[in-house]
Every structure is written in structure tokens, then in C-alpha cells.
Amino acid sequence: MATAINKTGKVSSAGKFMLICNLFAAFTLLVSQAAPLVSPERFWYMELMAFAYPFLLFINLLFLAYWGFRRHRFFFISAAIILMGYDKLVQLYQPHIFSMDVKHPKDAVKVMSYNVRLFDLYNWTGNKKSRDKIIRMLQQEHPDILCLQEYFHADKGDFNNNDTLRDVLHLNHSTITYGITLRKIHHWGLATFSKYPIIDEGKVFFEEGKTNFGIYSDLIIEKDTIRVYNVHLQSNHFKEQDYHFIANPDSGDNDELIRGTKGILSRIKKSVSKRSQQVDELALHISNSPYPVLLCGDFNDPPFTYAYQSLRKVLRDAYIEKGKGFGATYIGLPVKFRIDYILHSPEIAVHTYQTKIKKYSDHYPITAWVSLEKNPKK
């Protein structure tokens, strides 16, 4: 096999080919890192570059190892681009070793966010006890503030979740908003349950007949007031055949490959454009909040995208401060992503953050212990 560098120190033909490939990989990584700066409403395909960040990072790390092993200065090509996107790197992975052992103060509040996937209403898991397991897990976690997305409630029958959760969790205050109601007794929407009194509540980017929207609740915690947002940003609305195609892209002929790719890209185009509108409205609403903010929810976007980056301009990420590992929360695809978040104002301190590995939904629940700071660092 030809070596990249010959004995005279010159780059061989194979080395030149590797250099060209490296330059292309470094350039695409740079574009990927810059992609969140562009609204998908203007250039939606830039969001595809943002989605590709982990894979482009991995390729550049391979080039880093390749040139590093040969002790060549081309090592710095990928190294420089990766370091330029250091903020994206820490959003992808957190090496905190001792973050799980930090004790929280007595006045700390436990916050939990969880996309419950309708409490497995349609038995996606194949386990009819999934709802009971979710409720039992919530009871064991015993959060002070609980934000649920893809919430379902039935006025009659086994899915009377409003009363069940209040009774089991002893969270007597709640903001529950439905986007869809069928037969006057079946409801789909968002729910925030709280140990603390709610003095005001409202909706953000709400559309009748839709389940992707946001709600907020103003809570009194001792003598302070905080605003808790619970949001579910626009879903991609992938169908069963889309998930099958993503998992098995080479299972059909060329026509099926083209048709499957077009279908997925069409759904992504619609969803990223809609999410950017929702996020712009949400960020403005948060900026005008009279109180410190906690934002919980399912963004349907990984952290290196426009939606997350826009909200990070006004809020901090609990995972970055106290999380550990990759922190993946969505398990509905072959590749896991972190798309569920707990963000907060600078006035709120985060003491611990955890991703709970519970496979009762297509999402993992996340928790954080937080408290208000008297002298927050800006």
C-alpha cells in the first residue's frame, strides 16, 4: 500500500488524494458548524448540513488520527476546524466525571421533562402495562415540577391521566392545554404539573387542531416567581414506511430509494421551516418574560441546529452544565439524538442533570435539580 509521505518528506500521490479528501471534509464540517446561523425559512437545506455535524465530525477525527499518526502538519487542518466549533462539540458530548455526585441544596427544586408518547395509547411498545410503568416511574422520581409532551387524557376509562397524576404525584397545581379533542372526551396536548402554586398561565405559538405548541406557567416558589415553559416543537411526522426506509435504505430498488429519499426530505423541509417560526416566536416571548425562565420540552432537533442555537442565545443548557456523556434522549431511530432539553435563565443554578434510561416511550425522561441564585453570573 502506498504511503502518504515518502522518505524525502514529500507528499505522495496517495497523500495528495487524502489531502483533497481532508480539505473537502474540513470544509463541509465548517459549513455544518455555521449552518445554525441561517434560518431554515430562508435556506432549509442548511439544516441538513447541521444534522450531519456528528458524522462530519467523526470523519474529520479520522483524518486527525491519520495525519497525527504520520506526524504531518496536515493534522492541523481538521484540528483547527474542530476547535472552531468547540461550542458544538460540548453540546454533543459532556465528559463530566463527578457531575452525578454533586449534592443539591435544601431549597433546590427537581424538574422533569418527558415526552410520554401518549402513555403508549396505541400499544407501540407491545406492552399493555407501559402506562402503568410510566406512572410508577414518575412516582419514584417524585419531581416538584413535571413537564409532559405528547400528553393524552381521557375523561373516562383507563387513561384518566389528569386525576391519576395529581393523586399519585401529589402535584396539585397544573397547566393542561389540549390541541386536539375528539368525541369531547379524548384530549391530546401538553401538561405541566407543579408542587407550587400557579398564578398565571398561557399559550405560545398555539394552533387549534395541532399538538405542536407551547405553554407557560408562572410558579411561586417560596417568595420568588419563575416562569416554566413546556414546549413541543414541530414534529417531522415521519410515517412507518419512512422509519423502515431510514433503517433499511438499501432494501429496495433505485426507484424506491429515490421515492423514499424525496418523501423524507419533503417532510424535513416542512418541519424545519415550521420549527424556525415557532422558535422565533418562543425566543421573543422568553425575552419578554418578567421572571427567570425554565424551558422544558421536546425540540425535535439536535443541539447543532437553528432551533436550539436560537434559544441558547437567551438561555443556558442544564446538560452542558451538569450532564454526562452523549445525553441522547430520542431512541426512535437507529441513531440516537438529544432532542429533549431543560434550558434556564442565568438566575437559575443547576446542581444535577440526568437522562433516565427508561424505554417506556420513544424518548428518555430528563431531570435536573435547580435553584434560584441570588447573584447570578452573566
Kindly state whether residue 75 falls inside one of the protein's structural domains.
yes
Please indicate, yes or no, whether residues 207 and 306 belong to a single structural domain of this protein: yes
46 and 188 inside one domain: no
φ, ψ at 126 (rounded to 5°): 75, 15
Whether 82 and 224 map to the same domain: the answer is no
- CB neighbour class for 326 (10 Å; exposed up to 12, middle 13-18, buried from 19): middle
Query: Do 194 and 289 lie in a common domain?
Result: yes
CA distance 141 to 136: 9
Residue 8 covered by a domain = no
Over 80: is that where the pLDDT of 18 sits?
Answer: yes
Average pLDDT value for residue range 7-13: 66
- Look at residues 35, 63, 92 and tell me which one is the last residue of a structural domain: 92
Give me the pLDDT at residue 1, please: 44
What pLDDT score was predicted for residue 258? 80
The range of the structural domain enclosing residue 280 comes to 99-372
Q: Is residue 239 part of a domain?
A: yes
Same domain, 88 and 104: no
pLDDT at residue 247 in the model:
66
In a domain, 7, yes or no: no
4-13, 27-36, 89-98, 147-156, range with the lowest pLDDT: 4-13
Instruction: Give the CA dihedral 264, 269, 275, 281, nearest 10 degrees.
Output: -170
Do 40 and 111 lie in a common domain?
A: no
Is 5 a domain residue? no
Domain-located, residue 113 = yes
Do 345 and 276 fall into the same domain? yes
pLDDT at 85: 93
> pLDDT value at position 227?
98
Residues 190 and 60 reside in one and the same domain: no
Question: What's residue 238's pLDDT?
Answer: 78
Does residue 2 lie within any of the structural domains? Answer: no
* 138 vs 124 pLDDT, higher one: 138
Summarize pLDDT for 309-339 with one digit per residue, the tens.
999 999 999 999 999 999 999 998 878 889 9
Check pLDDT > 60 for residue 193: yes
Q: Residue 196 is part of a domain; what is its CATH number? A: 3.60.10.10
Residue 378 within any structural domain of the chain: no
Range of weakest confidence among 86-95, 133-142, 248-257: 248-257
- β-strands 316-317, 348-355 pairing: unpaired
Residue 308's pLDDT is 97
Reported in sequence order, the residue ranges of the chain that DSSP labels E, i.e. its strands, are 109-115, 145-154, 173-182, 186-194, 198-204, 214-221, 224-232, 293-298, 316-317, 340-344, 348-355, 366-372
Answer with the one of 92, 119, 150 that is the final residue of a domain: 92
- Shared domain check, 263 and 192: yes
Domains contained in the chain, number: 2
> For the ranges 68-72, 230-234, 262-266, which has the lowest average pLDDT?
262-266
- For the segment 37-59, the average pLDDT, to the nearest whole number, is 93
Q: Write down the mean pLDDT value for the chain.
A: 91
Q: Does 264 have pLDDT greater than 80?
A: yes
Global pTM value: 0.91
Same domain for 58 and 137, yes or no, is no
Judgement on whether residues 324 and 248 belong to the same structural domain of the protein: yes
In this prediction, residues 161-176 reach a mean pLDDT of 96
Per-residue pLDDT for 153 more than 70?
yes
Mean pLDDT of 251-261: 74
| pLDDT at residue 336, as a whole number | 87
- Angle value at C-alpha 150, between 104 and 175, nearest 5 degrees: 65
Last residue of a domain, one of 92, 120, 139: 92
Q: Helices (DSSP H) in 192-344: which residue ranges?
A: 240-247, 254-287, 306-312, 318-322
Question: Do 302 and 339 belong together in one domain?
Answer: yes
